[in-house]
A = this chain, B = another copy of it.
Amino acid sequence: MEKFTFVEGGVAAAEGFKASGVLNKIKESRTTYDTALIFSDCVCNAAGVFTQNRVKAECVKFTKKQIADGKAQAVIMNSVNANACTGEQGYKNAEKEALAVAEKLCVQKENVLVCSTGVIGQQLPVQKILDGLDKSVSLLSKTGNVEARQAIMTTDTKYKEVALKVKIGGKTVTMGTMAKGSGMIHINLGTMLSVVTTDCSISAAMLEKALKLSVAGTYNCVSIDGDTSTNDTLLILANGKAGNAEITEEGEDFDIFLDALNTLNTQMAKKIAADGEGASRLVTCNVTGADTVENARGLAKAVICSNLVKAAFFGADANWGRILDAMGYSGFNFTPEKTSVSFLSRKDSKRYFEDGKQNGGEESSIKVFDHGVPLDFDEELAKKILTEEAVEILVELEDGNACGTAWGCDLTYDYVKINGDYRT
């Protein structure tokens, strides 16, 4: 039997969780939902990780405070407006929102978290969200994930959601997540907003531990454009309804929990990279044989962050020199003379975008650089591989046994268009 069973339901999949999405016209021109609500019918243990940006959105400042006690029961999220660089008034708006949600849902106001994403520097029209609250609450359901996952999308072209079931301590635990993220995406934390919900019984301290361990190899290994947002937030809520013995320390149960969380977060990381603003393909860089995991991940991230590498992938150009160049300036350790580089295409990469399943076997590969020496390679085959929708750069080192992966996308005309062009 597979370790995990993937299921429908996203953030509403786990026992006791419901979700909704409504359109409050936070911006007049918005036609799809813009406000998501997630609710657990009992208080959850909770943890969060937040943007490392010195400029933090007001909702981030507020939610960090709210979650400090390790408890939460509801999350209200909006797109279109980031509530960032909005000063005292912005903070008060987040507070007001939480208070209103708490009243409507009859939960403690300390247990409501607030997330925003969208344009920086405009005051959030909070009254519109409050006016829509009755609807947000009345629509809460087990299938409300469908509207919720859309309500947090900004420049995303695809919703990002995945859920799974796993056995922990003899009980079936469900864990689900949704995220938005397409631009202003960089390591530390490579997303804008993400929420994970689970019915697992686990202490707030262990939740936080799992979250931090998982983020290092997943969301922190994604880059679209090298810009770390002011609003990055990843929340996890666990309501204990699965009835397993509470996880309060490291051990087998914690390991399975972490494995499940890593599986969800890795899939979300890939979905975000694949849906990078303007992206035409997902670019994965795998580094093997490094001396430490830190070096492996650091090298992989430098490769997928390089504008020149990204532009080469847009052109399906097997320009391995730019890969070596990026590794060289990354500051992470490797021995150029013992480095080999290959390109691989992935046969069923489409599945990432459609059903969130694991990746399949490689279709074809080509080595272009072997132990520090350029190889004569079949340029036609290289072009064929690099034209696939999902391409992997395999960097093999001989400095040790550590490996690391980072996910990014190509740099395209459309990225420039989405972020800059008023001329068309």
Interface, chain A (partner B; CB < 8 A): 51-56, 82, 84-87, 119-122, 183-184, 186, 188, 225-230, 305-308, 310-317, 320-322, 324-330, 334, 336-337, 369, 372-374, 410-413, 415-423
Please tell me if the beta carbons of A316 and B422 are within 8 angstroms of each other in the complex. yes
A-B contact list, 9 entries, CB within 8 Å: A54-B334, A54-B336, A56-B328, A87-B373, A120-B321, A122-B374, A188-B329, A311-B420, A413-B413
- Chain B's closest residue to A84 (CB) is B321
- With A121-B320, A416-B416, A420-B410 already in contact, the answer to whether A53 and B315 are too (CB < 8 A) is no
Please tell me if the beta carbons of A307 and B225 are within 8 angstroms of each other in the complex. yes
Contact of A307 among B226, B316, B330 (CB under 8 A): B226
Q: How far is the CB of A129 from chain B (nearest CB, A)?
A: 20
- Count identical subunits in the complex: 2
- Chain B's closest residue to A186 (CB) is B329
**How far apart are the CA atoms of A310 and B225 in the complex, in Å?**
11
CB-CB under 8 A from A337, the residues of chain B are 87
Q: How far is the CB of A169 from chain B (nearest CB, A)?
A: 40
Please tell me if the beta carbons of B230 and A325 are within 8 angstroms of each other in the complex. yes
**How far apart are the CA atoms of A328 and B225 in the complex, in Å?**
16
**How far apart are the CA atoms of A82 and B321 in the complex, in Å?**
10
- With A55-B324, A183-B308, A325-B55 already in contact, the answer to whether A416 and B121 are too (CB < 8 A) is no
Please tell me if the beta carbons of B55 and A336 are within 8 angstroms of each other in the complex. yes
- With A308-B183, A416-B411 already in contact, the answer to whether A230 and B55 are too (CB < 8 A) is no
**How far apart are the CA atoms of A19 and B86 in the complex, in Å?**
58
Contact of A313 among B315, B412, B420 (CB under 8 A): B420
**How far apart are the CA atoms of A120 and B321 in the complex, in Å?**
5
CB-CB under 8 A from A310, the residues of chain B are 420
- With A54-B336, A329-B186 already in contact, the answer to whether A315 and B420 are too (CB < 8 A) is yes
CB-CB under 8 A from A53, the residues of chain B are 325, 328-329
- With A306-B227, A334-B54 already in contact, the answer to whether A312 and B374 are too (CB < 8 A) is no
**How far apart are the CA atoms of A121 and B373 in the complex, in Å?**
8
**How far apart are the CA atoms of A344 and B167 in the complex, in Å?**
61
- With A227-B329, A325-B230, A329-B186 already in contact, the answer to whether A317 and B52 are too (CB < 8 A) is no
**How far apart are the CA atoms of A413 and B328 in the complex, in Å?**
27
**How far apart are the CA atoms of A410 and B306 in the complex, in Å?**
16
- With A227-B329, A373-B87 already in contact, the answer to whether A422 and B315 are too (CB < 8 A) is yes
Q: How far is the CB of A67 from chain B (nearest CB, A)?
A: 21
Please tell me if the beta carbons of B227 and A308 are within 8 angstroms of each other in the complex. yes
CB-CB under 8 A from A82, the residues of chain B are 321
- With A84-B321, A225-B307, A307-B226 already in contact, the answer to whether A421 and B314 are too (CB < 8 A) is yes
CB-CB under 8 A from A317, the residues of chain B are 420, 422
**How far apart are the CA atoms of A370 and B317 in the complex, in Å?**
45
Most chain B beta-carbon contacts within 10 A, residue among A53, A229, A324, A329: A329
Q: How far is the CB of A71 from chain B (nearest CB, A)?
A: 29
CB-CB under 8 A from A227, the residues of chain B are 306-308, 322, 325-326, 329
The list of the 5 closest CB pairs from A to B, nearest first, reads: A120-B321, A55-B328, A311-B420, A311-B419, A315-B420
**How far apart are the CA atoms of A329 and B185 in the complex, in Å?**
12
- With A312-B420, A419-B311 already in contact, the answer to whether A121 and B374 are too (CB < 8 A) is yes
- Chain B's closest residue to A418 (CB) is B311
CB-CB under 8 A from A336, the residues of chain B are 54-55, 85
Q: How far is the CB of A172 from chain B (nearest CB, A)?
A: 40
Please tell me if the beta carbons of A120 and B322 are within 8 angstroms of each other in the complex. yes
- Chain B's closest residue to A412 (CB) is B416
Please tell me if the beta carbons of A311 and B55 are within 8 angstroms of each other in the complex. no
- With A413-B416, A416-B413, A420-B314 already in contact, the answer to whether A54 and B183 are too (CB < 8 A) is no
- With A121-B321, A225-B307 already in contact, the answer to whether A54 and B328 are too (CB < 8 A) is yes
Q: How far is the CB of A34 from chain B (nearest CB, A)?
A: 19
Q: How far is the CB of A333 from chain B (nearest CB, A)?
A: 8
List 12 additional contacts besides A230-B328, A311-B419, A412-B420; criterion CB under 8 Å: A53-B329, A54-B327, A54-B328, A85-B369, A85-B374, A119-B321, A120-B321, A227-B329, A311-B415, A314-B416, A315-B423, A316-B422
